[in-house]
Amino acid sequence: MTLLKNGEIVEDTWRNLADDEDISGEESIIVSLDRWQNEPDKFNGRNGALGIRLESHQKPDAIADDVERFDLIALDFPVLPDGRAFSHGRLLRERYGFKGELRAVGKVIQDQLYFMQRCGFDAVELSEGEDVAKSIAALNAFTVAYQPAADDIIPAYKTRHDA
């Protein structure tokens, strides 16, 4: 899969750790919410970066008290009609103050990328078959936003009133 971060192709240095795999102290790992909740002490004293993956039915308030411990939060988009991760991304950025990498995983297509970016995602794992050049272009498909969001774009109504 191709990983885009801030609109550029990057190498993925993270490893998704299965719930039954040993925890390494050095590498950057992504663990499931279940593993985090069942074995939180196993992650203390690690030198490697720590990430967590939330499935679409798992709400961000499950990690609200621990959000500063994660360098990456991966939110799953299991199927196209399931947009809960858009809301979860925005909550993580705005309500819980998450500053690390917010990654979209699962069924991620170019038509969603601009809106993912507006909700606070800065990294996406493109689904198989997605055109990388078109996906990068989709991040800049719109030049005007009408609603405030988790990004730095000033909504059109504010620029109109300020003029």
Judge whether residue 153 has pLDDT over 90.
no
Instruction: Kindly indicate the confidence band of residue 23, based on its pLDDT and cuts at 50, 70 and 90.
Output: confident
CB within 8 Å of 84: residues ≥ 6 apart: 56, 57
Backbone dihedral region for residue 154 (phi beyond 0: left; psi -120 to 50: alpha; all else: beta): beta
pTM summary value: 0.89
Q: Which residues pair with 8 in a beta bridge?
A: 5
Instruction: Kindly indicate the confidence band of residue 74, based on its pLDDT and cuts at 50, 70 and 90.
Output: very high
Measured between alpha carbons, how far is 138 from 4 in angstroms, rounded to an integer? Answer: 12
Measured between alpha carbons, how far is 37 from 106 in angstroms, rounded to an integer? Answer: 22
Q: At residue 123, what is the residue type?
A: A
Please report the domains of the chain, with CATH numbers, ordered by start residue: 3-162 (3.20.20)
Average pLDDT of span 15-27: 90
Q: Lowest-pLDDT range, 11-15, 37-41, 57-61, 149-153?
A: 149-153
Instruction: Kindly indicate the confidence band of residue 160, based on its pLDDT and cuts at 50, 70 and 90.
Output: low
Measured between alpha carbons, how far is 61 from 96 in angstroms, rounded to an integer? Answer: 8
Token duo for residue 151 = 């990004």
Are 84 and 56 a contacting pair, CB within 8 Å? yes
pLDDT of residue 162: 63
Instruction: Kindly indicate the confidence band of residue 159, based on its pLDDT and cuts at 50, 70 and 90.
Output: confident
Does residue 125 sit in helix, strand or coil?
strand
- pLDDT tens-place string over residues 102-134: 999 999 999 999 999 989 999 999 999 999 999
